[in-house]
Amino acid sequence: MPSKKIPKKRGVEGAPVDSSAIFEKLLKQRDAAQHYQLRLYITGTTARSTQAIANIRALCEEFLAGHYDLEVVDIYQQPAEAAKKQIIAAPTLVKELPNPPRRLIGDLSDRGKVIIGLNLKGKKTEWAKI
């Protein structure tokens, strides 16, 4: 019995399609979609500001290790930035990416509310136990 030849996929102009390049592109898009961009607005070195920084860093390392950017903005040093983003209370955490944007106000000590607010439920990586 003769074997059938499987035709190569062709693009719009008849050129061969590099499926591995398409796959790599899709992986990069997926990784970009899973990347969190966070901005924490604080007021100087107050106890509440320091606690908010520690709380969000701990959550990010636990749930998003390697998949987040956290920028801390002191509204005493950059009042124009706070005014531009209409920040009226501090500390305020703004999740810009992934969509939808969210704002959380306070020292972020209620882990449950922060996890729900940032939609982190189920994002923690757990290793299989043998």
Q: Which of 30, 28, 29, 36 is nearest to 100 (CA)?
A: 36
Q: What is the pLDDT of residues 28-43, one digit of tens each?
A: 555 445 789 999 999 9
Question: What pLDDT, on the 0 to 100 scale, is given for residue 120?
Answer: 82
| Residue 4: both structure tokens together | 């059938």
> Is 36-117 assigned to CATH 3.40.30.10?
yes
The dihedral through the CA atoms of 10, 14, 19, 20 has a sign that is positive
Residues β-bridged to residue 10: 16
Among 18-32, 72-86, 89-103, 107-121, which stretch is predicted with the lowest mean pLDDT? Answer: 18-32
Ranges of each domain in the chain: 36-117
In sequence order, what are the residues at sequence separation of 6 or more whose Cβ sits closer than 8 angstroms to the Cβ of residue 69?
Answer: 35, 36, 37, 38
- The dihedral built from the CA positions of residue 81, 85, 88 and 91, taken in this order, carries a sign that is negative
Kindly give, in sequence order, each residue whose CB lies less than 8 Å from that of residue 87, ignoring residues fewer than 6 positions away.
Answer: 41, 75, 94
> 54 is written with which tokens?
């520690």
pLDDT in tens, 42-73: 999 999 999 999 999 999 999 998 899 999 99
pLDDT at position 20: 74
